[in-house]
Homo-oligomer: A and B are copies of this chain.
Amino acid sequence: MTYTAEIIGVGTEILLGSICNTDAQDVSQTLSALGINVYFHTVVGDNPERLRQAVEIARSRADIIITTGGLGPTCDDLTKQTLAEVFGKPLVFHEEEAERIRSYFRDRLNNMEMTDNNLQQAFLPEGCVVLENTCGTAPGCAFEAEGKHVIMLPGPPRECRAMLKTGAIPYLSALSDSQLYTHNIHVFGMGESSVEARLRDLMMEMSNPTLAPYAKDGEVLLRLTAKAHSKEEAEAMMAPALEKVRAILGDAIYGIDTDSLEHTVLQLLREQKKTVAVAESCTGGLLSKRLTDLAGSSAVFLGGITSYATQSKTTVLGVPEDVLKNNPVASRPVAEAMAKRAREVFGAHFGIGITGVAGPDADEDGTEPGTVFIALSTGEALYCREPLHFTDRARVRDFAASTALDMLRRYLTGRPV
């Protein structure tokens, strides 16, 4: 059977707009992956009467109710008490859970004094499955009553995500004999509509596995999902589709089940024992920052120079004066000279140079915002690309940094840059 679910977020701070309801997104993604249909999200404040009302409505229209937030001592365990009441479950004291809370204060919070209301958290609905909180004190729980399944998760996103993984997924998976398995296919250099147009026929004829595209920070993420009884069966079902997608999108696919473009590039550099250095102008350190977001990048990323003031391109980076005199600052020759100098100055195998106008205004030379030149110096050859025009400063910078990473990715995998 296909279950339907409703997610109820509990917290006045969401209704005030102080925080965004990211828990609902995390839970929704998890339920989608499990093949459970989510028909409604509801958010309600720290108010027992309105929470009760929301739960009554959810009970009338969903098989599974998942709550986030409203657990823990500061909110008087609002969610647990209300749900227990609505479903007629008495709260009973779990000695085991009480001991876990005591030891959390002793070991993880360095013997911080534990006030009595913390032990309230050890009262849980009779007969429930206790979901352990690996990142905080408030335990979650799950139970079945009146043919409905109820799961309560903590509100802090880190705790919620952890408990989804360790508690909610195992509980929900047991409700069905088949599970969902997913591959994430990462695409750069092709817009969402272009990807969709190329894959439309394939997507239309598929039912299990399914294929769905998502636009994300100038990239496209394709999610391939199979419903199967085992991982092996799922992989066998997905293999032909994966091959078709590869054939259609070719080298615009930069990775499968990878983290990011920078992750892919760093891994390729590590495998090939090569190093890179960068010289940035309009991206102002963003490429360098992205290459160091990940731990362990120091083995292959040597460093960078942000030559933001035009003069510093000569005085600090060492771009020949005549190159700057004879060309606009945002030009191919300047980008190429910057890439070459980055490589030389740091003694790296590869150098990347980025110069352009991030906007919102044109620069002194009259170059329009969104014009960016990106060069890759490999010691043997120089490659230069000018990416598409955008007008939003943040997007221009992001897309320029991504394009630089993609050029290096293509070079390292023997593809045309």
Q: Which residue of B lies closest to A38 (CB)?
A: B15
Identify A16's interface contact among B38, B280, B297, CB under 8 A.
Answer: B38
Complex: A25 Cα to B19 Cα, angstroms: 7
Q: How far apart are A109's CB and chain B's nearest CB, in angstroms?
A: 14
Say if the beta carbon of A347 comes within 8 Å of chain B: yes
Say if the beta carbon of A345 comes within 8 Å of chain B: yes
Contact: B304 with A309, CB < 8 Å?
no
Among A9, A298, A304, A359, which residue has the most Cβ atoms of chain B within 10 A?
A: A304
Contact: B22 with A20, CB < 8 Å?
yes
Q: How far apart are A348's CB and chain B's nearest CB, in angstroms?
A: 9
Contact: A214 with B21, CB < 8 Å?
no
Complex: A312 Cα to B14 Cα, angstroms: 47
Complex: A54 Cα to B26 Cα, angstroms: 22
Complex: A287 Cα to B292 Cα, angstroms: 12
Complex: A15 Cα to B62 Cα, angstroms: 14
Q: From residue 1 to 53 of chain A, which have CB atoms closer than 8 A to chain B?
A: 9, 14-22, 24-32, 38-45, 47, 50, 53
Say if the beta carbon of A306 comes within 8 Å of chain B: yes
Say if the beta carbon of A302 comes within 8 Å of chain B: yes
Contact: B295 with A360, CB < 8 Å?
yes
Complex: A298 Cα to B307 Cα, angstroms: 10
Q: From residue 206 to 261 of chain A, which have CB atoms closer than 8 A to chain B?
A: 214
Contact: A24 with B38, CB < 8 Å?
no
Q: How far apart are A340's CB and chain B's nearest CB, in angstroms?
A: 15
CB-defined contacts of A20 to chain B, threshold 8 Å: 20-22, 24-25
Contact: A32 with B44, CB < 8 Å?
no
Identical copies of this chain, number? 2
Among A53, A301, A346, which residue has the most Cβ atoms of chain B within 10 A?
A: A346
Q: How far apart are A256's CB and chain B's nearest CB, in angstroms?
A: 19
Q: Which residue of B lies closest to A40 (CB)?
A: B44
CB-defined contacts of A287 to chain B, threshold 8 Å: 285
Contact: A285 with B292, CB < 8 Å?
yes
Among A39, A50, A361, which residue has the most Cβ atoms of chain B within 10 A?
A: A39
Complex: A308 Cα to B295 Cα, angstroms: 12
Say if the beta carbon of A286 comes within 8 Å of chain B: yes
Contact: A309 with B298, CB < 8 Å?
yes
Complex: A15 Cα to B394 Cα, angstroms: 28
Complex: A393 Cα to B297 Cα, angstroms: 13
CB-defined contacts of A297 to chain B, threshold 8 Å: 284, 308
Q: A21-B20, A298-B309, A346-B316 are in contact. Are A304 and B285 (CB under 8 A)?
A: yes
Identify A43's interface contact among B15, B41, B359, CB under 8 A.
Answer: B41
Say if the beta carbon of A144 comes within 8 Å of chain B: no
**In the complex, the 3 A-B pairs of residues with the closest C-beta atoms, listed nearest first:** A284-B292, A285-B288, A17-B28
